[in-house]
Chains A and B, each alone.
Chain A
Amino acid sequence: MSVLLRHGVVQCITPPKFELILSSIDTFVKTGKLNKGFETDLRDIQEFYGANIGVTLYEYIRDSTLNTNDTILTSYKKFEKFRGVLDLMSEIFSHDFSKSFVNSIEANSTLKDLVSSGMDAYKRGQSGESTEQDELILSTLALVSKHQTLEFIPFEIELPTSTFDEPKLCDLKVIVENLADDFSQFVGDWKNQMITHLFESFGRMRISELFDIIVDFPESKPALIDLKECLSKVNLDDHLVNTYKASLRKRLLHAGAQTPDIIIQFISTVRSFSIIDQTGRYLKAIMKDITDYLMTREDTIKCLSKMMTEEGGELWEELEDPTVIRTEEEEDEEKPALDSSKPDLIKIFVDMHRGNKDLFINEYKDTLTEKLLKGGFDIEVETRTVELLKIRFGEKALYYCEIMLKDISDSKFINNNINSQLSNEDQLEVKIISRNFWPSSAQETEDVTQHSKLHPSVRDMMDAFQQQYQKLKAPRRLLWQPCLGQIDIIVTIGHSEVPITTNPIDASLLLYFAEDETFTVPKLCELLNISQDVCDKKISHWVKMGLLKMVDQGLYSIQDEYNPDQNETEAVEDSDSNKKGGRQALMRQYDDIVHGMLSTMDSMDASRIHQMLSMVISDPLPTYDYDVQELRVYLQELIEEGVLEIESNMYRLK
């Protein structure tokens, strides 16, 4: 009754029929049943009081049923219950009470509450199945959609991120569709728009995660297939391209990323994009950003070549794949690229270098040289790689590599032949190479030349071999390359036998020391025919290694007792002081060389320093086998120590 009084409409007149209506409604609220004659009563009241009384009655019903603590779903269930009464009243009082009721449900909780309760329900729904929670989300959806504020749909933020290994979109579609049907009385024609919006919000979410999805490729294929469906339904092309470009800039294309990582992400990008888009338009839009950046890195070609030619490398399977083969002849005909679903990555990378496939082959030649000269006579793997490269790049491009392989297999044959006659217990193994066909790395280096002389015991073996070779292959002879190759020796120092594997010159030096007690540097220079600089370096190296010692000014001999612990302690101290891995710490031994180089050359970029180190460094320092990235880390260390400074990528002494 207070309700009625509050509105003041019927303060003075309370006819019996009005009381009847109220009690009918109360009964209905309690039991769900409507008294007979309710409709007639309503009509009488309307005739007597006019339409305003309808509003009053409606407010009475609303206030006595809706509770602010109710969930959305409960409110909707109540609405369903009152629907008949409200429709009847709407008809009599010419007022849309059904709509007003729904509006007051919405007024009870703000849109934000709706969304967040929908989200909570969705979260709970993740752990177990609950149709009620699904309904709740969708009633939220229904409401939101009615307000045309679809961007609030919780899916956008609510799907668990960073799990891309199973499809999600399909389930969501079913939920949205079912619930759009269930709630069609509120949603009406909005069903299609809801589905479209699901595609849009889900698509945007996946696009925002695209970088990580591609990192996870190929495990993330299901997520990509979901994204593909979204992209086919709503236009997110520009959004995708711009978002991915931005994340590339932020996360990949900067100095902190290692070149192989950039290439791997690029490869995954190409493969992922071929799933979401067969026309290649996304790839085309983003590719230049990556390729332009990669072209600024000096080690790109090296990394690519390595990935392509190493079994199990990222591009190895591309090389192995017979379906994407373009032979030289086809290429010349300028055929339009076959519209295959599989992108031809190698072609992309060759095109990136303006179609200059020789760059790749030359890089591979260096790798091959190292493998062939360091390895044994078993070249099965290398032969296969060269075969695959031939299929890909044409026989002509691989001509030199073919000859290199043949040199090694010929050497095997010649070695077998000669060693069988020399009965030297296979102590000597010679790789006979065709100069002019091997890269310069297989030729003499600067400070140790062809004219260096090895120890007589090695020379004896060489001479015997030479003699046999000249018989076998007349009129040809061998030009020895004392700077190349390796000798395994065992040096007995005191009570220890120390196995050493080193280059021929160092081995010769140790062999001399092992038979005579002391040497001066000039004497050794004469014996080995090397410069004093080189000799000094070699001796200080072996002193450090604990094999040699200085007995007097300028006079050296072999150690009395081999004490490797001393070296290990040194090594440990080294790595501790650097707080880096042992390998990286070992780069410190190039301090002097780098210092020397930069004092003569003023300033150099990392690739030039890398080149110089690869060329210049020879014994006694171990072979320089670091990559540019490792060199950069090392140079950074020197910058931090205040030794160097860097300006527009050029390093110089401070």
Chain B
Amino acid sequence: MAKAKIVKARLVANWTWNGVNEVCGICHVHLDGCPPEATAKFQTPGDDCPVVWGECKHAFHLTCITKWLGTQSDSQSCPMCRRRWEYSG
């Protein structure tokens, strides 16, 4: 009877943000990547460049949306759908 056993498996995987496989609507860099300001500062993707979701389900780099909201004097709206921006829990 033939049989086989696994001694060691060395696998490779990409990591990705849950549920989004697209570019950031503000900086147009993939959400798994770093926005241009972060690249200039040699920041690394992932922990250094977190992604946040709004209640409207749109996702942006944290630095990008923060900057965007900073330029909005009165209403804090999502740059994609113009709905009021609320961070999604």
Contacts and interface: CB of A to CB of B under 8 A. Distances in A.
Contacts of B4: 489-492, 510-511, 514-515
Given A462-B11, A485-B11, A504-B11, A434 B45 contact: yes
Given A476-B18, A558-B2, A373 B7 contact: no
A429 B10 contact: yes
A576 B6 CA distance: 36
A551 interface: no
B14 interface: yes
Interface in A483-505: 484-494, 499, 504
Interface in A435-489: 435-437, 442, 457-458, 461-462, 469-470, 473-482, 484-489
Contacts, number: 142
A406 interface: yes
Interface stretch (A125-133, A284-292, A395-403, A594-602): A395-403
Interface of B: 2-19, 30, 32-33, 39, 42, 44-46, 51
Nearest to A434: B45
A614 to B, nearest CB: 18
A40 interface: no
B27 to A, nearest CB: 13
Nearest to A466: B13
Given A435-B14, A436-B45, A479-B14, A429 B9 contact: yes
A461 B7 CA distance: 12
Nearest to B19: A475
Interface of A: 373, 395-396, 399, 402-403, 406, 410, 426-437, 442, 457-458, 461-462, 469-470, 473-482, 484-494, 499, 504, 507, 510-511, 513-515, 558
A306 to B, nearest CB: 23
A489 B10 CA distance: 11
A490 to B, nearest CB: 6
A431 B3 contact: no
Nearest to A562: B2
Contact of B12 (A442, A499, A510): A442
A478 B45 contact: no
B49 to A, nearest CB: 10
A432 B6 contact: no
Contacts of A399: 39, 42
Contacts of B16: 435, 476-479
A427 B6 contact: yes
Contacts of B7: 427, 488-490, 499
- The 10 A-B residue pairs with the shortest CB-CB distance, nearest first, are A514-B4, A484-B12, A478-B13, A488-B7, A485-B11, A435-B14, A475-B18, A479-B14, A491-B4, A481-B12
Looking at B6, B13, B39, the one whose CB has the most chain A CB atoms below 10 A away is B13
19 contacts: A373-B12, A396-B42, A403-B44, A426-B8, A428-B9, A429-B11, A430-B13, A433-B12, A434-B15, A434-B45, A436-B32, A458-B9, A476-B18, A476-B46, A481-B12, A485-B11, A507-B6, A514-B3, A515-B3
B15 A490 contact: no
Given A436-B33, A477-B18, A403 B45 contact: yes
B8 A487 contact: yes
Nearest to B17: A476
B11 A484 contact: yes
Nearest to A414: B15
Contact of B32 (A402, A429, A435): A435
Contacts of A475: 17-19, 51
B18 A479 contact: no
Given A475-B17, A476-B18, A489 B11 contact: no
A486 B10 contact: yes
Contacts of A485: 9-12
Given A399-B42, A458-B6, A477-B18, 6 more contacts: A427-B8, A429-B10, A437-B33, A477-B15, A489-B6, A558-B2
